[in-house]
Structure 1
Amino acid sequence: MLDGMAPEEAKVWGIRVPVSSSGRRKWPDELRSMAVQKVLAGAGIRETVEEIGANKSLVALWVKKAEPQADGPAFVEVITPRTSAATQPPMPVAASRENDASCKISVGSATIEIPQGYPADHLVEILRAVRAAQ
C-alpha cells in the first residue's frame, strides 16, 4: 500500500473480501453474519471490528439490522375507498370498552381492537397515527 495501490482482495476469517481500487471493502454476507453472531454471542463490537478491520459504525449497523425488533405496534396504512371530499363526512374517532376485555377504536369502517393491558405508550402512538391520518 506504500505505492498507493490498494490490494484487490483481503482475507478475513478465511473469507475472501474484495477490495475496490479506492480501498473500500465489499463485505460478503457470510462474513457479516459471522461478525453479527459473534457480537450477539457476547463479544464486543470494538473487539470484532479490530479483528476484521471494519468500521465500528458499520458493524453496529449490521448488528442492529440483525436483532429482532422489540414487540411494539406495527403500523399499517389502511386505505378505504373514498368518495369525493365534498360528499364524504368527517370520520369520527370513537373509543369504547366492552366487558373490560379490550378497547375498540373505530375510524369510519375500520376498527382497531386493543387488548387489556396493552402498553399505554404504544396506545398513545396508535392514537397519534389515527389522528394524523384524518
Structure 2
Amino acid sequence: MCATNSFLKSLGVEFYASGQRRWPDEVKAQAVAETLAPGATVNSVAACYGVKPNHLSAWRRLAKQGKLILPAAETAEEPTAFAPLVLCEPAAAQAQEFPSRSTDMLHIVFGDVTIDLAADTPAVRIAEIVHALGASS
C-alpha cells in the first residue's frame, strides 16, 4: 500500500487525513487513456491506480462528455479522445450557407461564432477547442 501511495503522490494525487484523495485531471485522463489500450480492462487499470472500477468508469464518462481531455496517443492508430457529436437540422432562420468547399473543412459553430478547421485537423485539437468553448460559456 505504501508503494501505491508514493506512486500516486508522485503523480500529484493529494491525500487527506479523512482518507479521501484529490485526483488532478491529468492523472484521471492518463488512467482513462490506459483503459483504451488494446487488451486493457477498466478493472485492471483501476487496480493499478487503487480506485474502484466504477470510479474509473465515471472518469470515462467525463471524457466521453468532453469534460476531460485525454493525452495525445503515441501513435496515430490509437484512439485519442472522446468528443460529443450532436447532429441536428438547423432552424430555417438559422441556416447558414458554407462555402462550396465545405467537404474540405470542418465547421464548429458555437452561438454566433464559426470556427473553420482543415478536414485533417487532429481529433485531440478539435477536442481541445470544444473543451475551451465549453469552459468559456
TM range (shorter): 0.3 to 0.5
Whose helix proportion is higher, 1 or 2? 2
Query: With structure 2 as the length reference, what TM-score do the two structures score?
Result: 0.43
Q: RCO (CA 8 Å, sep 6+): is it higher in 1 or 2?
A: 2
